[in-house]
Copies of this chain bind each other. A is one copy, B any other.
């Protein structure tokens, strides 16, 4: 048959800062120093937070969680361009973005330590709760964007999900709904190469995931997810398009899961260290720090101070968390319905009586 199949090609990856922190000057957005310093601090805080959480988990203070190591630039880049009126829909690995959006460190610690008061987004933050069920948050995120159209609001939604999530039917439906409704949504598919033990090659027959968006008629690009400048620019542009009524964009952020899938995971069972090693050199923080130093924005000493400050901030938050966090078993009936129906009122009474009998606060 001589008809040519559609060429899947592999699209170039948008990059501003390369591995060696060389800048593609034609693309450098030349952000102001204040902004650059803030971005840097965001990256470092994310890492401090993540590492502290790992320690706390190993000490039994935390439940299972998914470390973020190496994905900090993806994380920050996808929310830096957002305003408070824009919405953000995180995955379970989106600590960096959540911190930037205004989730306090204590809240996130509470969340991952299983206290229900940690789950809802902070009162003034237009975020969805993170989603544990892979891909299940993407349709609601598109729905919010459709609501913006309904109300003619010039805002947008960024939704974050992984390479694994790209296989979920609900995500495909979300891409289609966004496309046909010209919904102001930016899909950030954080392709870190792995879904637990499953490499991209078993997840998809394509060598990139941007074609997935294209298959639904969504302008789609690949971005170096370890380059905070490229990520920020790409999301900024996509958000601008969305707000201007030009519809969704699909961004494949190419990065790598440096650490465990979650603290319940042992990657040595299924992946060779050789696959990880090359990515060490691509560290998004080191790369950005070279750029900052080279451009005279921050000195080595200043950078070191940022690291210290972030560590201290995290430890202070941990201490507050330790002082604060109390299980509140009496509250579990509080938010199931607007008003508790009689059968649940009865169940609640029985439950509270039981707590009383057992002497639980």
Is A214 in contact with chain B by the CB < 8 A criterion?
yes
Known A215-B211, A215-B216: A169·B180 in contact at CB below 8 Å: no
List 4 additional contacts besides A5-B214, A5-B221, A205-B216; criterion CB under 8 Å. A3-B12, A168-B173, A213-B215, A215-B216
Known A6-B214, A214-B5, A221-B5: A180·B205 in contact at CB below 8 Å: yes
Give the residues in chain B near A176, CB-CB below 8 Å: 167, 204-205
Known A167-B173, A169-B168, A172-B172: A5·B180 in contact at CB below 8 Å: no
Distance to closest chain B CB from A22 (angstroms): 18
Is A1 in contact with chain B by the CB < 8 A criterion?
yes
B237 x A1 contact (CB < 8 A): yes
Q: How large is the interface on A (under 10, 10 to 19, 20 to 34, 35 or more residues)?
A: 35 or more
Is A102 in contact with chain B by the CB < 8 A criterion?
no
- Copies of this chain, complex-wide, total 2
B202 x A180 contact (CB < 8 A): yes
Give the residues in chain B near A1, CB-CB below 8 Å: 14, 221, 233-234, 237-238
Q: Please, how many angstroms separate the alpha-carbon atoms of A4 and B206 in the complex?
A: 19
Distance to closest chain B CB from A246 (angstroms): 11
A180 x B203 contact (CB < 8 A): yes
Interface centre among A4, A168, A176, A213 (most CB of B within 10 A): A176
Is A212 in contact with chain B by the CB < 8 A criterion?
yes
Can you list 30 residue pairs at the A/B interface with Cβ under 8 Å? A1-B14, A1-B234, A1-B237, A1-B238, A3-B221, A3-B222, A5-B221, A6-B210, A6-B213, A6-B214, A8-B214, A167-B173, A168-B173, A169-B172, A172-B173, A176-B204, A179-B204, A180-B205, A204-B217, A205-B247, A206-B215, A206-B216, A211-B214, A211-B215, A211-B217, A212-B216, A213-B215, A214-B214, A215-B215, A215-B216
